[in-house]
Structure formats: structure tokens, C-alpha cells
Amino acid sequence: MFIMHMPLDFKVGERALVKINGESTLLHWRDEHTLVIGTEDDARRIVTTQINGNLRCFICGDADGEQYGINEVPGGGFIINKQ
């Protein structure tokens, strides 16, 4: 799993310089379903997003292409599971 918070004004198609584990890298919101970390080799499928104040929280799968599902929980939560 990969989770990243970005400002709400970060839009599909844009790139932003971010720090992940203390290392600077580019984050590219390539399309509606994909975030790319650094190079095109590290594309992550977006499982879901949530808005927290002025940030969008991206919850993504692993770089290995593992598929994840999401189940909404009454009261506003969710559970992510491998499929």
C-alpha cells in the first residue's frame, strides 16, 4: 500500500516534487486511476481517495500490481483488502 496526501489543487495530469521516506522525487497523477512515483516504472493503481480538509488522501496499491478492493463501513470508514 502507498498513501499520500496532496493539496486539493493537485489535478490529474500534474506533477509535483514531494518527499517520500526523506527522498525528493516527482509524483505524477497520470490519469484518473494511476499515480506514478519517480519514473514510469513505479505506477500505482489508486484504490480510493478521501478529502481531509484541504488535502486529498490517495490510497494506492503496491508497485507490483497487486489488486485491492475496498469495502465501505457504515459511519464513514472503509476496509481495504487484497483480492
Q: Tell me how crowded residue 5 is: count the other CB atoms within 10 A of its CB.
A: 14
pLDDT at position 38, please?
A: 93
Higher pLDDT, 17 or 61: 17
Q: How confident is the model at residue 82 (pLDDT cuts 50, 70, 90)?
A: confident
What pLDDT is stored for residue 75 in this prediction? 78
Q: Which tens digits make up the pLDDT trace of 27-69? A: 999 999 999 999 878 999 998 898 989 999 999 988 776 677 7
Instruction: Tell me the whole-structure pTM to 2 decimals.
Output: 0.81
